[in-house]
Chain A
């Protein structure tokens, strides 16, 4: 079935069908009374839910970072102990890595849409590698700061720096796990139409999430080092 997956819209077109619905069956005589060719829609799986779900999740994650950002802004003005650190240069590498990973993720998603399983898997793998590279680079930045004696509690700015990078890193790790799950699904036998729809929907959702993680990092990067 995999070869037939060109886009989710196409599949919906081919699977929405008429046909008489079974009547009754649930103890209520009128319930099965939908007219010929109608009804049955909710029992059909719609991949749209993955996209809705990921946008809703993004709204929630965004609120977490909005809360922390407002705390950052308030705290920066509430004491005289605010001392921004000099940016570790390796953060430029992090930023470059995550920007590129967003592009490879997009290539991967488009490969799936164009029925190129091999391309999909390959670019997915590259994205995972770039994501891990980003995390490694972040940890490297932390180690650099620790060597300079800039710890979590030494300064409120430091506290926020570690907090933001850790919170973002954890969420990105979640994204990497999701990509790993997609990778696992690329091998093995192809399932039913519904399973294929699920796969496309999940890939779309993961891509949206990945772009969000990318944008979120850029926003945090600007906030931490270029704001004020």
Chain B
């Protein structure tokens, strides 16, 4: 009788195309869907950043194709400042939400968290499917926001919905910035171009995104707490699982706050309430009527209470993947596993108490500013623990320099380079100068943007063989790594210098500022670096899709790694372990254990394997030529 219940799979493998690939309940398919969404969104965001660079370097130049696509945003092909601002807004929004939040957590987390803990799926497969499709709808709405403002025909269609939906201002979408600061974002059309229907759709898209992320977070937490296989104690989980778990907690507690703020902002715009709109506001040559007493700072508090955890939502999965990959290719146990777990948790939890450092110049009390500053700097402690442990893992190791390893090392480098300026910006006195300069842009692009993306590149090259049964090309991968690695430093190191001379963010042009005359060469250099770095991503896309069909066939455990995903077939069967629950006897990073027959011990190997002989031939699936 027991046997019968054990062998029941909660949902049999679907056969129809729609149930198998579109509305799939399989966490692996949903993970790939999330990754495809991110791969699509990142192209949109990247093109926007290149357009921004082009406008900054060669202002007033006519780009005929832009004139054709956006006749009002770029009349005659010359980008207007409003057009530039909308690019800034949409680049930030799409990158932060639809790339950095979807791929690391929804993508790789969805695919590998259940497998790494030995579960057959997520706890709530239907919720999992919904979380992806809700997120997908959010992405469609954000694209609609671009079209509604940028395209006169669609804009006119929205304008028929009433005054508050007036659109077609000719920008390329809302221009409130990814932070959507009121009062301008709360006023509607009166606040200028890009503040009509596009802004409504922007808020709605973010609200939808919040719901999707919450469903995902609920699933991740429940799965991890409830569905670990026999022997998979918390302290035997791979650090990736700890990172995804912490990320899910952050998402669970921070997205509702953004959702609440978004509802209030939308009500201000469409229902005439005054949550964020103060009285007597003078905008575009007239006083704003009918509003009174609102507090724009309230939005900043709500937004940044979400916004700061959000940057950890973006980077923690990258930290998890990096720890995992460094240990695997250093052939050494991760240095200080326990410390790493506590550091992940500490970073996540401290992240809830530092939102005020985004608001130092908002006129807050210096006493609160000091409290926020001290808490912010204290995040340096767990961050340093992680960094030193990564270095400790690499110390004296016989490193296998594969592409995923290179990207993982790149992650550490970028995390340090970007994180160190966090200590500068976290101090109120210095932030007074640096706030809203390129120094800030440099800081968060390195530490949250590029470092997270490097984590995802590492994860892609590392897990691709498990997901698709083929290896990605190592030579293309290494070329991709070196150009991207040098490229991102070439882009963002000069940003620090620009920030130090006081170049402000979000400005469309700098031509008329005498004090910025010396930076023009640097600005052009950055643009060239950005275009090269963006172009080389085509190599990554080519490698990805080419390898899916033509790559070298991969074995079940090509990297000689230890965790559960490498014990199952490639690609994993519908219920991950073909009806057999794996049993875990080892920690996740048992590499080079003295006395063991091989230099790695799978988590499923029976206890005592490291001293027992004769197990070597039983696991004949390691090593297919990736030793260096």
Given A42-B120, A71-B302 in contact, is the A28-B279 Cβ separation under 8 Å? no
**A33-B606, A156-B293 given; 7 more Cβ-contact pairs under 8 Å:** A31-B567, A56-B217, A64-B256, A64-B257, A71-B261, A78-B298, A159-B267
| B119 at the A interface (CB under 8 A) | yes
Let me know if A26 and B124 touch, CB within 8 A. no
The secondary structure that dominates the A interface is loop
| A41 at the B interface (CB under 8 A) | yes
Across the interface, B230 reaches (CB within 8 A) one of A25, A29, A34, A194, namely A34
Across the interface, B273 reaches (CB within 8 A) one of A31, A48, A152, namely A152
A68 to chain B, nearest CB (A): 5
Let me know if B272 and A30 touch, CB within 8 A. no
Across the interface, B568 reaches (CB within 8 A) one of A15, A27, A68, namely A27
Let me know if B275 and A159 touch, CB within 8 A. yes
| B274 at the A interface (CB under 8 A) | yes
Let me know if A16 and B263 touch, CB within 8 A. no
- Size category of the B interface is 35 or more
A-contacting residues, B75-93, CB 8 Å: none
Across the interface, A49 reaches (CB within 8 A) one of B226, B253, B302, B582, namely B226
| A45 at the B interface (CB under 8 A) | yes
The secondary structure that dominates the B interface is loop
Let me know if A42 and B581 touch, CB within 8 A. yes
| A148 at the B interface (CB under 8 A) | no
**Docked pose: A63 CA to B213 CA in angstroms:** 14
A80 to chain B, nearest CB (A): 7
A54 to chain B, nearest CB (A): 9
| A84 at the B interface (CB under 8 A) | no
Greatest chain B CB density within 10 A among A27, A67, A79 is at: A67
**Docked pose: A34 CA to B419 CA in angstroms:** 45
A-contacting residues, B496-535, CB 8 Å: none
| B225 at the A interface (CB under 8 A) | yes
- Size category of the A interface is 35 or more
| A22 at the B interface (CB under 8 A) | yes
Given A29-B618, A75-B275 in contact, is the A43-B230 Cβ separation under 8 Å? no
Given A15-B5, A28-B569 in contact, is the A43-B222 Cβ separation under 8 Å? no
Stretch of B61-69, B325-333, B572-580 contacting A (4+ beta carbons < 8 Å): B572-580
- Bitwise, A3-24 to B at CB < 8 A (1) or not (0) is 0000000000011111101110
Let me know if A43 and B579 touch, CB within 8 A. yes
| A52 at the B interface (CB under 8 A) | yes
Q: Which residues of B contact A17 (CB under 8 A)?
A: 1-3, 6
Let me know if A30 and B618 touch, CB within 8 A. yes
Let me know if A48 and B226 touch, CB within 8 A. yes
Q: Which residues of A contact B579 (CB under 8 A)?
A: 22, 25, 43
Q: Which residues of A contact B226 (CB under 8 A)?
A: 46, 48-49, 52
Taking Cβ atoms with an 8 Å cutoff, the residues of B that contact A are 1-3, 5-10, 117-120, 123-124, 214, 217-218, 221-223, 225-230, 252-257, 259-261, 263-264, 267, 271-275, 278-279, 290, 292-295, 298, 301-302, 305, 556, 567-570, 573, 575, 577-583, 602, 604-606, 615, 618-621
B-contacting residues, A207-228, CB 8 Å: none
Given A30-B567, A30-B604 in contact, is the A42-B271 Cβ separation under 8 Å? no
**Docked pose: A75 CA to B277 CA in angstroms:** 11
Let me know if A67 and B302 touch, CB within 8 A. yes
Let me know if A31 and B580 touch, CB within 8 A. yes
Let me know if A78 and B567 touch, CB within 8 A. no
| A119 at the B interface (CB under 8 A) | no
Let me know if B293 and A78 touch, CB within 8 A. yes
B346 to chain A, nearest CB (A): 20
Across the interface, A74 reaches (CB within 8 A) one of B254, B263, B295, namely B295
**Docked pose: A15 CA to B8 CA in angstroms:** 12
A78 to chain B, nearest CB (A): 4
- Bitwise, A150-162 to B at CB < 8 A (1) or not (0) is 0011001001000
| A59 at the B interface (CB under 8 A) | yes
Q: Which residues of B contact A48 (CB under 8 A)?
A: 226
Given A31-B604, A75-B294 in contact, is the A153-B272 Cβ separation under 8 Å? yes
**Docked pose: A30 CA to B583 CA in angstroms:** 10
**Docked pose: A24 CA to B274 CA in angstroms:** 65
Let me know if A80 and B252 touch, CB within 8 A. no
20 contacts between A and B (CB under 8 A): A19-B2, A28-B567, A30-B602, A31-B567, A42-B119, A43-B575, A44-B6, A45-B5, A52-B221, A56-B217, A56-B221, A60-B252, A64-B256, A67-B259, A71-B261, A79-B294, A81-B293, A152-B267, A159-B267, A163-B263
Let me know if B253 and A59 touch, CB within 8 A. yes
Let me know if A52 and B225 touch, CB within 8 A. yes
B-contacting residues, A129-168, CB 8 Å: 152-153, 156, 159, 163, 167
Q: Which residue of B lies closest to A158 (CB)?
A: B273
Across the interface, A32 reaches (CB within 8 A) one of B290, B298, B580, namely B580
Across the interface, A27 reaches (CB within 8 A) one of B1, B569, B605, namely B569
Given A27-B556, A43-B6, A79-B279 in contact, is the A53-B123 Cβ separation under 8 Å? yes
B293 to chain A, nearest CB (A): 2
Greatest chain A CB density within 10 A among B2, B272, B292 is at: B2
Q: 5 smallest A-B Cβ distances: which pairs?
A: A79-B293, A17-B2, A67-B260, A153-B272, A64-B256
Across the interface, B256 reaches (CB within 8 A) one of A26, A29, A60, namely A60
Let me know if B578 and A25 touch, CB within 8 A. yes
Q: Which residues of A contact B223 (CB under 8 A)?
A: 49
B-contacting residues, A99-117, CB 8 Å: none
Q: Which residues of B contact A34 (CB under 8 A)?
A: 230, 581-583
Let me know if A71 and B581 touch, CB within 8 A. no
Q: Which residues of A contact B120 (CB under 8 A)?
A: 42-43
**Docked pose: A156 CA to B279 CA in angstroms:** 13
Q: Which residues of B contact A175 (CB under 8 A)?
A: none
Q: Which residues of B contact A75 (CB under 8 A)?
A: 275, 293-295, 298
**Docked pose: A33 CA to B230 CA in angstroms:** 13
